[in-house]
Structure 1
């Protein structure tokens, strides 16, 4: 397995692999997101307690899942970069941090929109809300650290360390509803034997979680490719990948 992965430690190979994988994430992700969203917003029955306001769950829950899932992926990349000294892993951390931050903002915003009619307030210092806000600050910290140092190797290591340290916040977010008395409800979709939701409501939610996972992967891969191009712009293969001619004097022209 490691021999198969070893060639992708080279930036050019990683760039091309990400390009080949991109459609496999983007196309099914877009189609499933369209299916799940239309099904959830337009065809699921109205909730007996929350009315139609519950339908924001089809955006809020997938975004919240991906805010944590993206950070976990980023931390794994940081660990790979620190242990095996692979530059592309540092690029992945930098590429996925803005994606994860965007999902976290969506989760917080939709949670506030959902919370106003249900709790009577846009924001409360609930354990899960607070830990999710801390996750956003962790994302912003990783982004800031990666851009704070002119030395890219040092920047990658600093951002990677913060990404690894911040992993401790993920179980806090997940188990906060069990550890503390919070306004959030307990486990719903993770109770596979007897879920708390009607199956007519549950299926579009599961589809959207899968869809948003694929969309996150597609956006992350595109961002990863851009980060490689940005960091490897001085390499001759980048000019070839972008369809540029490089003459002997080093000047570039459109092919």
Structure 2
């Protein structure tokens, strides 16, 4: 089955109906296992103590915040270039989820930063660019609501989303381009991860759980958006039929009166 096979909303909804229950079960199970390893199996850090456990939420949330934006960008390309019928639906569905992950990353980072840095917030390059990411998510959500024409809204948001990729690149390389409080990449490196397996395994489990959560919420949001658009189309058709029916009734009444 290709992406264009899923261009038919009815076929897509059938697929979602089939896989969603399994995804929900997998997500709940992965979250339960990940949280157990994060809070009961992983050891304390010799410097951070119990505070290190916040990282098991913060790091995956930050990664998913960027992945959500990547999904929006790819969907925007699909909408602008290939005119895929569900691309703009995917982009619209990704925005609130991405905003939630971004907020969670910023909030958990602030909670961790207070005992470690002595403050909830610093104007660090990565923190600032992540705040910009949250503002972009909220702005895109607002634009979807403000522009009534779905086609125009999809085009405007697709362009803004693709421009915003610049900020994602800044987030990714900010720790290498500037002197920041955040450490350089310690998992995906040429010479292997710099994190001990006792910390790396819970991080991986939580990332998998958050990834499954994103896929589940994304499919649910796409399904809901398709249904909203169908209801809107039905209402518009009903509104256009009503005046025509009324006009026909008036014409018949006038003809009967003339006889």
TM-score tier by shorter-chain length is 0.7 to 0.9
Q: Which has the larger radius of gyration?
A: 2
Instruction: Determine whether 1:122 maps to 2:120.
Output: yes
How far apart are 1:203 and its partner, in Å?
Answer: 0.5
Match of 1:242 in 2: none
**How many residues are paired up?**
234
Q: Residue 4 of structure 2 contacts residue 84 of structure 2 at CA under 8 Å; is this kept in 1? A: no
Displacement of 1:71 in angstroms is 0.6
Cα deviation per residue 1:120-159 (whole Å; 9 max; x = unaligned)?
1100000000111111111112111111112111011111
Partner residue of 1:221? 219
What are the residue-to-residue correspondences of 1:87-106 with 2, within 5 Å?
87-106=85-104
- 1:24 CA displacement: 4.1
Residue 64 of structure 2 aligns to a residue whose secondary structure is helix
Q: How does 1:26-41 map to 2 (within 5 A)?
A: 26-41=24-39
Identify if the C-alpha distance between structure 1 residues 13 and 121 changes in structure 2 by more than 3 Å, giving closer, same or farther. same
> Relative to total residues, which structure has the larger helix share, 1 or 2?
2
1:226: Cα distance to partner? 0.4
Q: How far apart in 1 are the matches of 2:233 and 2:15?
A: 18
Displacement of 1:97 after TM fit?
0.4
* Distance in 2, Cα, partners of 1:67 & 1:111: 13
Q: 2:73 aligns with which of 72, 75, 98?
A: 75
The farther-off stretch of 58-67 and 147-156 is 147-156
RMSD value, Cα: 1.6
Residue 131 of structure 2 aligns with which residue?
A: 133
Indicate yes or no: 2:111 matched with 1:113. Answer: yes
Aligned residue in 1 for 2:252: none
The answer as to whether partners of 2:30 and 2:205 remain within 8 angstroms in 1 is yes
1:195 aligns to 2:199 (yes or no): no
Tell me the residue number matched to 2:164: 166
Quote the offset at 1:72 in angstroms.
0.2
Q: TM-score, normalised by structure 1?
A: 0.87
Q: Is the 8 A contact 1:23 1:218 kept in 2?
A: no
Return 5+ residue gaps in structure 2 as ranges: 235-259
The CA distance in 2 between the partners of 1:93 and 1:53, in whole Å, is 35
Structure 1 residue 19: Cα displacement: 2.6
Contact 1:142 1:160 in 2 (8 A): no
Q: Which residue of 1 aligns with 2:3?
A: 5
Change (3 A) 1:7 1:43: closer
Superposed displacement of residue 59, structure 1: 0.5
Q: Show CA shifts across 1:12-64 (max 9, x none).
A: 22222233332343322221221111111112111001111011011001100
Report the CA distance between 1:162 and its aligned residue: 1.0
